[in-house]
Structure 1
Amino acid sequence: MHMTNTTSPTTDATPSARADELLRLHEAPELLQLVNVWDVVSARAVAALPETRALATASHSIAASFGYPDGEAIPRDLMLDMVGRITAATELPVTADLEAGYGDAGDTMRRAIAVGVVGANIEDELKPLREATAVMAAVVAAGEAEGVPVVLNARTDAFLRGGDRAIDVIVADAIERGRAYLDAGAACVFVPGNFGEDVVVQLVEAFGERRLSVIGLPQLPSPARLAELGVARVSYGPYVQRVALTALQDVASALYAGGVIPTATRALN
């Protein structure tokens, strides 16, 4: 059963129950689509849609909203404060982009759980495999210690930091890392990159069905096709905020040119 969409604070679902629901959404035959949010008003706007089953924060977008670049430049407490405001605004499970864990992924995960988070992205930054796997294991252990079965979306940067390596080398690296993270307790492996269906098939075959997470970039198959291929989850990172800011600039330009607010505008706050 899907959790009820609402924009009021959570009152009945426990963190453990939310985590169980988030894991179920990853394992279900339907593709889990996560339209990333970055503040309370964006979270409420997305949560109000009947198709929304969970929320995911975008670290890049949260940082940008406070004037910081991506890459853990925003202070951890400030980022977690916004994440907590988002979790307090919905009964839906919330998974947070915690970047690379701010130097102590286990402690960052514990702090995120304290503000209502039940899932997380953690980047491996292509650290040596043993070190990166230990980071993922620390996140899982933090959830166990807090009594919340955290849904870890373990991200490998094999494609993002692959440089000029051959595609087969990059895919092999992503597979080796992903399998290690799954063995460490991750629910799925996040492999961001602008690749085609052939790579998706290789990754699903390596990890198993409903264990791969991707970002919705132009070369990837459609959501319907991703579901057919056995992908668990697709998210959109900072691109949703960019769409919103593009719309803001466009309406501002139209108003400067003598236009009016579009009649189809909805009150979402």
Structure 2
Amino acid sequence: MNQTEKARAFGALHQKGNPIVLYNIWDAGTAKAVAEAGAKALATGSWSVAAAHGYADGEKLPMSVLVETAKSITDFVDLPLSVDFEGAYSAEPEGAAANVARLVEIGAVGINFEDRVVSCEGLYPVESQAARIRAVRDMADGKDIPFFINARTDLFLAESDLAKHAGLVDEAIERGRAYASAGGSGFFVPGLIDAGLIEKICAASALPVNVMMRAGAPDVKTLARLGVGRISYGPGPYRSMMEKLRQEAAAIYSLL
């Protein structure tokens, strides 16, 4: 498939009630392993890619390194690739669009694009984030690529008290609607694990909803019944693999 065909196929995999499952990767080697396991598409996790290069999350990884990592994946594995691009390394719509264009140029077909102000605290106002999404959409449309913008809200991830998540749902729905109108392709709500609240957002969202697996989250089959259209694993795979590596290395060194 060419890039346009991959982008179209990737978008079609997002179906409410029949979610695409993305086991997040961080380099070409993990991309190949996950592809060989039967994945239909690939997605990086920003935390994992940064950690694999010795950096913290939060756009501490130089953008050039991220773009080169994404290119190594698209060069090596012939599956649609979505890149976790955090805040697109720019607060301004024009800068965000120009930076995302670099990912389009190396063959990526989608991004995660969050509304958290990466360099500071809090979230962008709805109108500001919608303008950033609209700029990315206009750029991609200009290249005739049906690029998948997975519009992420950090409302739930920023609130560690799960008991307060119910009070954030209305704002999340408002943001999801605004992001859809601006050209978003999916709506990502990391941090949310309550089944009833997930179902409410799925029912209200015109976009396929992405839930991130974490401790306490419903299983894949339950999420499908709730209407979720995309399931991802975030930094979980990286942490799991690094712990396995640590344990195996420790077992060897303990014998010396």
TM-score past 0.5 threshold: yes
In 1, Cα distance between the equivalents of 2:201 and 2:114? Answer: 18
Q: Is the 8 A contact 1:194 1:219 kept in 2?
A: no
| Length-normalised TM-score, structure 1 | 0.87
Label 1:28 to 1:129 Cα distance change in 2 as closer, same or farther (>3 A): closer
Q: Match for residue 26 of structure 2?
A: 38
Q: Which amino acid aligns with 2:36?
A: A
Q: Match for residue 52 of structure 2?
A: 65
Q: Match for residue 202 of structure 1?
A: 200
| Pair 1:123 & 2:121 matched | no
Q: Match for residue 53 of structure 1?
A: 40
- What pairs with 1:1-269 in structure 2 (closer than 5 Å)? 13-27=1-15, 29-50=17-38, 52-103=39-90, 104-125=95-116, 126-162=123-159, 166-208=164-206, 211-258=208-255
In 2, Cα distance between the equivalents of 1:70 and 1:218? Answer: 20
What SS does structure 1 have at the residue aligned with 2:211? strand
In 2, Cα distance between the equivalents of 1:147 and 1:75? Answer: 28
In 2, Cα distance between the equivalents of 1:132 and 1:29? Answer: 27
In 2, Cα distance between the equivalents of 1:57 and 1:24? Answer: 19
Q: Is the 8 A contact 2:74 2:107 kept in 1?
A: yes
When the two structures are aligned, how many residues end up with a matched partner?
Answer: 245
Q: Is the 8 A contact 1:194 1:217 kept in 2?
A: no
Q: CA deviation at 1:87?
A: 1.1
Label 1:231 to 1:180 Cα distance change in 2 as closer, same or farther (>3 A): same
Q: Which amino acid aligns with 2:181?
A: D
Q: Match for residue 8 of structure 1?
A: none
Label 1:42 to 1:228 Cα distance change in 2 as closer, same or farther (>3 A): same
Q: Is the 8 A contact 1:94 1:117 kept in 2?
A: yes
Q: CA deviation at 1:257?
A: 3.2
Q: CA deviation at 1:194?
A: 4.1
What SS does structure 2 have at the residue aligned with 1:27? coil
Q: CA deviation at 1:255?
A: 1.6
Q: CA deviation at 1:169?
A: 2.8
Q: Which amino acid aligns with 2:111?
A: A
Q: CA deviation at 1:163?
A: 6.5
Gap regions ≥5 residues in structure 2: 117-122
Identical-residue share of aligned pairs (%): 36
In 2, Cα distance between the equivalents of 1:60 and 1:29? Answer: 28
In 2, Cα distance between the equivalents of 1:200 and 1:102? Answer: 29
Q: CA deviation at 1:147?
A: 1.4
Q: CA deviation at 1:27?
A: 2.6
In 2, Cα distance between the equivalents of 1:22 and 1:216? Answer: 20
Label 1:121 to 1:131 Cα distance change in 2 as closer, same or farther (>3 A): same
Q: Which amino acid aligns with 2:110?
A: G
1:121-178 CA distances to partner (integer Å, 9 max, x unpaired)?
0010120111011111112112111111101110001112247694333111111111
Label 1:149 to 1:84 Cα distance change in 2 as closer, same or farther (>3 A): same
Q: CA deviation at 1:91?
A: 1.2
Q: Is the 8 A contact 2:15 2:230 kept in 1?
A: no
Gap regions ≥5 residues in structure 1: 1-12, 260-269
Question: Larger deviation: 178-187 or 16-25?
Answer: 178-187
In 2, Cα distance between the equivalents of 1:120 and 1:258? Answer: 45
What SS does structure 1 have at the residue aligned with 2:155? coil
**After the TM superposition, which segments of 4 or more aligned residues of structure 1 sit over 3 Å from their partners?**
162-166
Q: Match for residue 120 of structure 2?
A: none
